[in-house]
Amino acid sequence: MAKSVADQLVEMLVNAGIKRIYAVTGDSLNEVNDAVRREGSIQWIHVRHEEAGAYAAGAEAQLNGIACCAGSSGPGHVHLINGLYDAHRSGASVIAIASTIASFEFGTEYFQETNIIKLFDDCSYYNQIATTPKQLPRMLQSAIQTALQRKGVAVIGLPGDLTKMDAEDIESSTQSYGGAALIRPTDADLQALAALIDQHKKITIFCGIGAAGAHDEVVELSKKLHAPVGYSFRGKMDIQYDNPNEIGMTGLLGLPAAFHSMHESDLLILLGTDFPYTPFMPTDCKIVQVDIKPERIGRRAKVNMGLHGDVRDTLAALLPLVAQKQDDSFLKAQLKVYAGVKEKLQTYVDETGEKDKIHPEFVAATIDQLADKDAIFTVDTGMSCVWGARYIKATGQRKMLGSFNHGSMANAMPQAIGAALACPGRQVIAFCGDGGLSMLLGDLATITQYKLPIKIIVFNNRSLGMVKLEMEVAGLPDWQTDMHNPDFAMVAQAMGMKGITVKEPDDVKQALREALSYRGAALVNIMTDPNALAMPPKIEFEQVKGMALSMTKLILNGRMDEVLDTVKANYKHLKDVV
């Protein structure tokens, strides 16, 4: 029997290191599905929604290097788009197979016809459609090579009729090629940076995901400079641990310490980060930015020195040129601020809440204590993201995934699917909002079908919590943010997993212990305080005014109880603002 194009495609995916394809099968994908079955060494993961499959592939790629998802004609591959946007913006090497109608029907407005070149152009680095057997392997090789080297999504359009045709041998390569390169600034640039550092006393280092492989070098530099070290959310798991000079995050999810340190500095060194955004950037100090992608330099702040380089390679070359500083007064002052911030955060853990209004901070801190040292966390966008950012501590082995750049809802549960398949044996914990979980609820069935021991923690505040806060700080009464939820524990049980609902603070720790020790999938539905706020480190007067206006409108609309609950739940934050 001659090898088909579908067989050739699967063979190339296997050779590239792909372990599974996340997809919903369908007419134009059926030949690929069957080729996977016959090949035997690659899995077909039947998700319930293609968006979940794309999220899962993005998570797997971030953990293991490369992954694959697929969608059938028209609606099937259209469903991939949100998850692919997230993967692309996260720098995840994902191959997306967009199966299409038969090639001879192109341009006829046939049933389920789409233009995949227009459709996927904005969320991919490579996006082509093959129409002949000779094109497919060359395009697929280019797609794999592009995804691996540029760290993003590559899309291959695959007409259903093409998959049945006999494969053709081609003269070009069908293998992918990797290998890392040494990338650092020139000697002259490094000398200039060392000289600039020597001229300044109050220096803060801020790290992003681009510093992930440079933990030891960052710590060594911070010790030499007596510099506090802040980090972005994506950089946290790689920079926070074993770092005596760390001062936390800044940004909307961050804490006042890093914001304060950056604004008190006379020199700010940004390492592998395209964050924080402009409102959080200081404007009266010198700024240096080092990035592997030089096109990003200077787009968030007025940078005085921009250097192209891998952070680890750059710091390894810079460290011998930097003299040990003696004055540590700036560092001590910033660490003192950070200690005060952590003390205030702890008050929301110690005061655990009340029935049906459990403090989410207490929940997150308890999970941090009970979770494995090498646990993988996924966090939904919104308030769940805040609690993960502030209360889950790095160990050097833990990972945290979220929709940090794309900011989509519903990412945590499907990303947990990808993480569990990519890293069997490791504990996977998903921080889900009730709004996020509801959006892709059907894929709980994927978890049980493949017997994945994922632990889902639902921060059930019965609302779109972050949206509610956004409306309030804008001076608007929250409207249509309430969630009428099912009993998520009963839904979980109906799906075949363990389900627990927690209404009392005293029951939180035992429920979490029970779920985390359970050998299969478990969901813990925790009724958290809907009025818990996530105050940013920099609070503008307009935000305070907006909150006051929002509260006034609620009172005038007969919702005085909600105002009192908000004040009661957040009196420490509000006292600090006033």
pLDDT of the chain, 578 residues: tens digit per residue = 579 999 999 999 999 999 999 999 988 899 999 999 999 999 999 999 999 999 999 999 999 999 999 999 999 999 999 999 999 999 999 999 999 999 999 999 999 999 999 999 999 999 999 999 999 999 999 999 999 999 999 999 999 999 999 999 888 888 888 778 999 999 999 999 999 999 999 999 999 999 999 999 999 999 999 999 999 999 999 999 999 999 999 877 788 899 999 999 999 999 999 887 888 899 999 999 999 999 999 999 999 999 999 999 999 999 999 999 999 999 999 999 999 999 988 988 999 999 999 999 999 999 999 999 999 999 999 899 999 999 999 999 999 999 999 999 999 999 999 999 999 999 999 999 999 999 999 999 999 999 999 999 999 999 887 787 777 777 788 788 888 999 999 999 999 999 999 999 999 999 999 999 999 999 999 999 988 876 555 544 444 444 444 444 444 455 445 544 554 555 455 444 43
Phi, psi angle pair for 268, to nearest 5°: -115, 125
Residues 6+ apart with CB under 8 A from 5: 133, 136, 162, 163, 164, 165, 166, 167
* 8-state DSSP, 373: T
For residue 94, the cross-strand partners are 67, 153
pTM: predicted TM-score of the whole model, two decimal places: 0.91
Q: Record the tokens describing residue 354, joined without a space.
A: 């009340």
Cα separation, 383 vs 381, in Å, equals 7
Strands in 272-347 per DSSP E:
286-291, 305-308
Domains and CATH numbers, the chain: 5-164 (3.40.50.970), 187-337 (3.40.50.1220), 351-577 (3.40.50.970)
Q: For the chain, give the number of residues.
A: 578
